[in-house]
Structure 1
Amino acid sequence: MRHISALRLTDFRNYHSLDVTFGPEPVVLFGPNGAGKTNLLEALSFLSPGRGMRRAKIEDLAKRTINSQAVAWGINATLNNETKISIGQIPEYPRRRLVRLNGANATSTELAQEINLMWLTPVQDRLFTGPAGDRRKFLDRFVFAHVPGHGAISSRYEKARSERNRLLSDGVQDTRWFEALETDLAIYGSQIAEARAATLTALQAEISARDSVFPKAQISIEGHYETLSLKGMDTQGVQNALKEDLAKGRSLAQRAGRTLIGPHRSDLCVTHIAKSMPASDCSTGEQKALLIGLMLAQARTHNGPTIKSRKPILLLDEVAAHLDEGRRAALIEELLALETQVFMTGTDESLFKAFDGRSQNFEVKDGHVQSVNS
């Protein structure tokens, strides 16, 4: 089992220095609010590409004291006692970070090939009623678990879109500039759409195949180019369609001053099947249960019929707090059945009693982590 076997933090959030080791079993982190439980999970989330589960700025992560801030922060982790990952802020360039894999500089794609991380946080409880952009990020995190290069492709798409938007807002009329950028947008946008469509298909198949105490969801995407891919159009066909649409819609985009079509406009739609009700209309508890169900289904798709990827490590922040005792116990059994490493946080150790000796428990207090297993 691929797992995080050791973690060292240096001047990260409220941790001046932390060294802790883990086995492959589920990890329970309990302690009072503000102790540093979520900060530890956030550090782990930086082991995957991206801005971490809080999407914080690099320069805001260093430990602060009353009178000063640390020069730089660092995260060092070991996978299975062999593979070493180092993530750190560059003191001379505080808005940049350095990623190293076994002592050598590494790209985000290389990092994603080593470790697959997914997370749920209390902020995501508002996912179904919040802006579409949050749901796209949620879906793309699922995609990224299966397609290591998805993050790099998305970054290239966003760079091309930003440059096209600049031309649009500045009133530039040179068609050659637009054609070059629209070619890039079509290439990267079609790959994004195809990856999302494949992930959605695998996820829905996994949801339909299993029964769970958590409600089943019907998932779809409001996005023209993902829909084309779902209907069987190949990547080149989607690319051609997107490029043609961008050219046709250029005059309208010039009036708006921004790019109006493409996968950056798509939205993830989720329906509570048993109630035939959009997730946004469900109760807060039902929305939480739907989210957990989606996460569990996604964790099982790593070895599905259409997608192969490394089994994910799960970071679950305060997930058990708002579940009744029966659902907490059911969640724990489903997590154990995944046979992957799981990190869970909560204010009280009793929330996790259903693990019944099958977890590693740590008390977190004032930036210190202490094992409580006998």
Structure 2
Amino acid sequence: MVPERGFVVIVTRLRLRDFRSYAAADVAFGEGLTVLHGRNGAGKTNLLEALYFGCTGRSCRTSNEREVVRFGATAARVEVDGHDPDGPHALSVGFQPGEAKRMRVDGAPVERMADAPARPLVSVFLPDRLELVKGAPALRRAHVDQVVAALWPARADTRRAYSAALAQRNALLQRIRAGRANRASLPAWDAELARHGVALRDDRARAVELLRERFATLAGELGLAGTAGARFRPRTRAATPEAFAAELAERVDGDLERGFTGHGPHRDDLVLERDGRDLRAYGSQGEQRLALLALLIAEREALAEARGRPPLLLLDDVMSELDPDRRERLAERIARHGQSVVTTTDLAHVPGASSGDVTRVAVGEGTVLQEAAA
């Protein structure tokens, strides 16, 4: 299959109002590396979150988005400017608790930022994002589905179609349990679920395969001891939709007893390993953090190769936990592809930060100071 390619959207500016600790802020970004530096608690992570919020329409830190509105304010607003070879682009997200978000791309309202071609792809590493490694499988499934959608946008609908078919089958199971429907209706929904399920499973498997070798190499470079591995663990290995539908039929009695479908891609998982042992259960927090970082950079490199669209990479306080040699390796990796924003408490921790090619922004007490190039 020919890779789906597209223009790289470079983010040039972030403006925000009443977001977290900021009454207002205006930050310009370089086309390569931008370093946000300041003491702990100064507001560096809030800027990364705002940038992610403006590009995706959601927070990367909380599911309770009331938290993004500055204390005492009634609403938050984020605007992101960028450009690609087609010209300039403008994104905005307005959020007021209790009301629908107001999202626009190039002046037109959108329901989902993910559907806008002009939206910059974005990947974020936060130290407290370790739930992706050590949390429930549903988090990793959703993450792999985001990678699939970024690699092959036309396939994003497969997950939605599977979820809709799963909801319909579960509703039917509950009606049968209640005596309001009969089992004769199930084979049609088994076939529908299986058709989308096999396609979804195959998309996930292909995406993980693209990441597998990159992940192992990067994890080693970043200091994860032993042999690292990324492995897709599907719930079904049925080769065809018909075979998967047969598996569903074999399990229907158990599904009726539970009242929901217990078998299928909604139980898939991504396993990150060190020396064959699941890092979710057996990895230290430091090892899990290195694995997460390696996974995100592996995804970025795969996207750069497959689509020519490396995502904007947001790295929060990652350099302080690496030794000088591994900082150099990480800096070299992120410099190869696209645009990055890195936070640090110490500019000396970011190789090349004093270079004239790097944009530096001092952050403190809810304010930002754009610095002149060296």
Distance 1:95 1:318, change over 3 A: farther
In the TM superposition, residue 314 of structure 1 has moved relative to its aligned partner by 0.7
Verify the 8 A CA contact 2:148 2:156 in the aligned structure 1: no
The one of 74, 78, 82 equivalent to 2:77 is 74
- Structure 1 residues 162, 211: CA separation in 2 closer, same or farther (over 3 Å shift)? closer
Match of 1:102 in 2: 106
Indicate the residue corresponding to 1:263 in structure 2: 265
Q: Does 1:202 align with 2:185?
A: no
| 231, 235, 259: which one aligns with 1:220 | 231
Which residue identity does 1:104 align to in structure 2?
Answer: A
Listed one character per residue, the Cα deviations across residues 68-119 of structure 1 (whole Å, up to 9, x for unaligned) are: x41x322211112701112223x5x834223322111234443256421111
Is the 1:76–1:84 contact (alpha carbons within 8 Å) kept by the matching residues of 2?
Answer: yes
CA distance in 1, matches of 2:56, 2:220: 31
Q: Deviation per CA, 1:121-174, whole angstroms, max 9, x where unpaired?
A: 112335433322232233233323213355554344334434544444563434
**Deviation of the 1:184 alpha carbon:** 4.8
Q: Which amino acid aligns with 1:84?
A: A
Q: Aligned equivalents of 1:263 and 1:157: distance in 2? A: 9
* Amino acid paired to 1:290: A
Specify the alignment match of 1:292 in structure 2. Answer: 293
> Which residue identity is paired with 1:154?
R
Aligned partners of 2:235 and 2:267 also within 8 Å? no
Query: Taking structure 1 as reference, are residues 46 and 210 closer, same or farther at Cα in structure 2, changes over 3 Å only?
Result: closer
**Superposition deviation, residue 211 in structure 1:** 9.5
Shift of 1:24: 0.4
CA distance in 2, matches of 1:176, 1:58: 44
CA RMSD for the aligned pairs?
3.0
The offset of 1:178, in angstroms, is: 4.8
Identity among equivalent pairs (%):
27
Q: Which residue is 2:193 aligned to?
A: 185
Specify which of 24, 31, 37 is matched with residue 30 of structure 1: 37
Q: Work out whether 1:140 is the aligned partner of 2:145.
A: yes
TM-score relative to the length of structure 1: 0.82
Structure 2 distance, partners of 1:157, 1:221, is 18
Query: What code does the residue aligned with 2:364 have?
Result: K
Deviation at 1:309, TM superposition (A): 5.1
Whichever residue aligns with residue 29 of structure 1, its letter is L
Q: Does structure 2 conserve the Cα–Cα contact (< 8 Å) formed by 1:164 and 1:181? A: yes
Matched length: 354
TM-aligned CA deviation for residue 313 of structure 1: 0.9
Residue 352 of structure 1 and its aligned partner are, at CA, apart by 1.7
Shift of 1:343: 1.2
2:144 maps to amino acid: L
Cα distance between partner residues in 1 of 2:76 and 2:342: 24
Amino acid at match of 1:131: A
Partner of 1:360: 359
**Where does the alignment leave 5 or more consecutive residues of structure 2 unmatched?**
1-7
Q: Find the aligned partners of 2:220 and 2:48 in 1 and give their Cα distance.
A: 26
Query: Mean alpha-carbon deviation: is it higher for 98-107 or for 153-162?
Result: 153-162
Residue matched to 1:279: 279
Tell me the residue number matched to 1:6: 13
Looking at structure 2, the residues matched to 97 and 223 of structure 1 have their Cα atoms a distance apart, in angstroms, of 35
Alignment check: 8 A CA contact 2:57 2:93 kept: no
Contact 1:109–1:148 (CA under 8 A) maintained in structure 2: no
- Cα distance in structure 2, aligned partners of 1:33 and 1:151: 38
Deviation at 1:266, TM superposition (A): 1.0
**CA 1:362 to 1:266, structure 2 compared with 1: closer, same or farther past 3 Å?**
same
Deviations 1:259-286 (A, max 9, x none): 21121211111223xx454334244333
Contact 2:43 / 2:364 at 8 angstroms: preserved in 1? yes
Distance change >3 Å, CA 259–CA 101, structure 1 → 2: same
Deviation per residue, 1:159-203 (Å, 9 max, x gap): 443454444456343447655654553344333222211211211
TM-score, scaled relative to structure 2: 0.82
In the alignment, what sits opposite 2:4? none
SS at 2:31 equivalent: coil
Q: Which stretch has the larger CA shift, 72-81 or 104-113?
A: 104-113
Taking the aligned partners of 2:129 and 2:71, their CA distance within structure 1 comes to 27
Aligned 8 A contact 1:49 1:111 in 2: no
Cα distance between partner residues in 2 of 1:203 and 1:77: 29
**Does the C-alpha gap of structure 1 residues 101 and 75 become closer, same or farther in structure 2, counting only changes over 3 Å?**
same
**For residues 326-367 of structure 1, what are the alpha-carbon distances to aligned partners after superposition, in whole Å with 9 as ceiling and x for unaligned?**
2222211221122x1111122333322543414212122222
Distance in 2 separating the partners of 1:367 and 1:164: 50
Aligned position for 2:324:
325
Q: In 2 relative to 1, CA 49–190 (structure 1 residues): closer, same or farther, beyond 3 Å? A: farther
Match of 2:129 in 1: 124
In structure 1, the partner of 2:5 is none
Call closer, same or farther: CA 1:210–1:58 in 2, change over 3 Å. Answer: closer
Q: Compared with structure 1, are the counterparts of its residues 211 and 163 closer, same or farther at alpha carbon in structure 2 (3 Å cutoff)?
A: closer
